[in-house]
C-alpha cells in the first residue's frame, strides 16, 4: 500500500513538473508582457495613409528572451513577424537580456541575484545558458538567425551596410499594401543589454560580433566590471576595462547604446565618442522626471554625436499610458535637439505594460500628427533617423 502511495505521489510530481515546463513559460510571459485594453477605434484616414508610406524602425525589443515562435502571430507579448508586418515595421532591433536582479527598480540594484536563470531553465534553453551570461547572449542571437532561416525570406538579419542596402532594395520593390500584409518582409538586428554579458572578457565581444550583435549598452540594471548603471549601487563611470570595450566597439563599428547608463558612464562615453551613439529606449525628464530618463544636457550630448534618442512606450518612460504621452515626449526632445535626433524605442517584450503592440503603430503616427509634426519630421522620427545611424555605423 505504501509503495502504491509513493508511486502515485511520484506520478503526480512528474506531471506537475512536466506541466511547468510545457505551460509555465507562457504563463510567466503573460504576467510580464502585457498590453493595456483599449478601444478599437480606427485611426484617421490621414494617419493610415501616411503610415503606410513610412519606413518604420524600433531600437529596442526583448522578444528573443521568451519561448515563443516569432514567425507565428502570438496571443501574448508584443512583437512577432506577423505583427511587425501589420504595423509596417521595416527594421526591429532585437535586444538580448542576460541578467536581471530580483526586485528590479530604477533607483538601486545590486548584482547578487538573477531572475533570468530560472527562466532559462524553465524554457529548456541550451544547457550552457543556464549558468553562462555569454552563452545566454549567443543562444538568443542564434534564435533570431534560426527564425530568419525558417521565414522564407520574410525576416532578414542585418549585420552590415551591404545587407541593409540589399534588404531595403527588396522591400522597395513591394507595393505599399503588400508591405503591410503576409506578402511583406521585415528585418532585425541584434543588440545586447548590458556588457556583463561579456563576463569580464573582451574576447567575448568578438564572439558576439561574429554571432551578429551590432549594438551593446555598457550597463543594464546594476553596476558591472565595465560601467556604472543609473540604477546601480555605486553608479560609477567607465572602468579601465570599460574604456577598452568602447574603443574596441568603435573600431569594430558597433553601436554604443547608453540606455541605463549612470550619469558618469554617460559623460565618460560621450567624451570618447568618435561615432554616433544611441539611447535605445528611454524617456525625457522634461515630460517625466525620474532616474530612468534623460536630462536636457544628456539629450544635447547624444545629438552632438549625430546619434538618436529613442522614446519608449511604457509609463515610467513617458508618464502616461497612451500614444499621446509617447508623442508628448517625442515633441519635447524634438523641440530641444531637432526631429533628426529622435526615434522609437518601444522596449516591447521587456516586462512592461504598453498601450498597444507592434501591429498598432499607426496610433503613434496619428499622435505625432496631432502634435503638429510635419510629414517629413514624422518620417524621420518613425524610422529614417535610425536608418541613417545604421548606415553611418554598421561595418
The pTM of the full predicted model, rounded to 2 decimals, is 0.93
Dihedral (C-alpha) 55, 58, 59, 61: value to the nearest 10 degrees? -150
Q: How far is CA 59 from CA 115, 240, 346, in A?
A: 24, 28, 7
State the CATH class of domain 45-393: alpha beta
pLDDT value at residue 6 = 43
- The whole-angstrom separation of Cα 165 and Cα 80 is 23
Question: Is 37 exposed, middle or buried, given 0-12, 13-18 or 19+ CB atoms closer than 10 A?
Answer: exposed
Q: Give the DSSP H/E element, type plus range, for residue 251.
A: helix 240-251
pLDDT of residue 182: 80
Distance CA 116, CA 100 (A): 6
Contact 262, 217 (CB under 8 A): no
pLDDT of residue 13: 40
Q: What is the pLDDT of residue 7?
A: 52
Q: What is the pLDDT along the chain (395 residues), one digit of tens a residue?
A: 545 544 545 444 443 343 444 456 788 888 889 999 877 778 999 999 999 999 999 999 999 999 999 999 999 999 999 999 999 999 999 999 999 999 999 999 999 999 999 999 999 999 999 999 999 999 999 999 999 999 999 999 999 999 999 999 999 998 877 777 888 999 999 999 999 999 999 999 999 999 999 999 999 999 999 999 999 999 999 999 999 999 999 999 999 999 999 999 999 999 999 999 999 999 999 999 999 999 999 999 999 999 999 999 999 999 999 999 999 999 999 999 999 999 999 999 999 999 999 999 999 999 999 999 999 999 999 999 999 999 999 99
Grid cell, residue 142, equals 542564434
| pLDDT confidence of residue 31 | 84
Q: What is the pLDDT of residue 239?
A: 98
The predicted pLDDT at position 28 comes to 86
Interacting residues of 13 by C-beta distance below 8 A, sequence separation 6+:
none
Contact 35, 353 (CB under 8 A): yes
Residue 250 has φ and ψ, to the nearest 5°, of -65, -35
**Closest CA relative to residue 329, chosen from 362, 358, 290, 359:** 290
- Report the pLDDT value the prediction gives residue 11, as an integer from 0 to 100: 46
Amino acid at each position: 500500500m505504501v509503495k502504491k502511495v509513493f508511486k502515485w505521489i511520484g506520478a503526480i510530481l512528474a506531471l506537475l513538473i512536466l506541466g511547468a515546463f510545457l505551460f509555465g513559460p507562457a504563463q510567466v510571459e503573460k504576467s510580464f508582457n502585457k498590453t493595456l485594453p483599449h478601444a478599437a477605434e480606427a485611426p484617421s484616414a490621414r494617419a493610415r495613409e501616411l503610415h503606410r508610406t513610412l519606413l518604420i524602425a524600433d531600437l529596442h525589443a526583448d522578444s528573443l528572451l521568451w519561448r515563443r515562435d516569432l514567425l507565428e502571430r502570438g496571443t501574448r507579448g508584443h512583437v512577432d513577424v506577423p505583427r511587425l508586418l501589420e504595423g509596417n515595421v521595416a527594421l526591429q532591433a532585437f535586444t538580448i537580456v542576460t541578467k536581471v536582479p530580483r526586485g528590479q527598480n530604477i533607483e538601486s540594484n545590486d548584482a547578487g541575484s538573477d531572475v533570468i536563470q530560472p527562466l532559462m531553465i524553465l524554457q529548456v534553453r541550451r544547457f550552457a545558458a543556464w549558468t553562462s551570461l555569454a552563452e545566454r547572449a549567443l543562444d538568443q542571437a542564434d534564435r533570431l538567425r534560426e527564425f530568419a532561416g525558417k521565414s522564407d525570406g520574410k525576416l532578414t538579419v542585418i549585420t552590415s551596410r551591404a545587407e541593409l542596402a540589399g534588404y531595403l532594395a527588396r522591400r522597395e520593390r513591394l507595393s505599399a499594401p503588400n508591405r503591410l500584409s503576409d506578402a511583406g518582409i521585415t528585418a532585425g538586428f541584434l543588440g545586447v543589454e548590458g556588457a556583463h554579458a561579456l563576463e569580464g572578457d573582451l574576447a567575448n565581444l568578438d564572439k558576439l560580433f561574429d554571432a551578429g550583435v551590432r549594438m551593446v549598452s555598457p550597463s543594464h540594471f546594476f553596476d558591472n566590471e565595465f560601467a556604472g548603471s543609473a540604477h546601480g549601487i555605486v553608479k560609477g563611470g567607465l572602468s579601465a576595462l570599460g574604456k577598452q570595450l568602447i574603443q574596441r566597439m568603435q573600431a569594430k563599428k558597433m553601436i554604443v547604446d547608453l540606455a541605463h547608463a549612470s550619469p558618469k558612464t554617460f559623460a565618460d562615453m560621450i567624451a570618447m565618442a568618435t561615432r554616433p551613439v544611441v539611447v535605445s529606449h528611454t524617456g525625457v525628464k522634461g515630460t517625466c522626471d525620474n532616474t530612468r530618463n534623460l536630462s536636457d544636457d544628456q539629450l544635447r550630448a547624444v545629438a552632438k554625436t549625430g546619434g538618436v534618442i529613442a522614446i519608449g512606450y511604457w509609463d515610467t518612460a513617458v508618464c502616461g499610458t497612451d500614444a499621446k504621452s509617447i508623442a508628448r515626449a517625442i515633441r519635447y526632445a524634438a523641440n530641444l535637439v531637432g526631429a533628426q535626433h529622435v526615434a522609437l524605442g518601444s522596449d516591447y517584450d521587456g516586462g512592461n505594460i504598453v498601450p498597444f503592440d507592434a501591429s498598432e503603430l499607426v496610433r503613434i503616427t496619428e499622435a505625432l500628427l496631432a502634435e503638429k509634426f510635419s510629414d517629413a519630421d514624422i518620417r524621420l522620427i518613425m524610422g529614417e533617423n535610425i536608418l541613417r545611424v545604421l548606415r553611418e555605423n554598421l561595418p
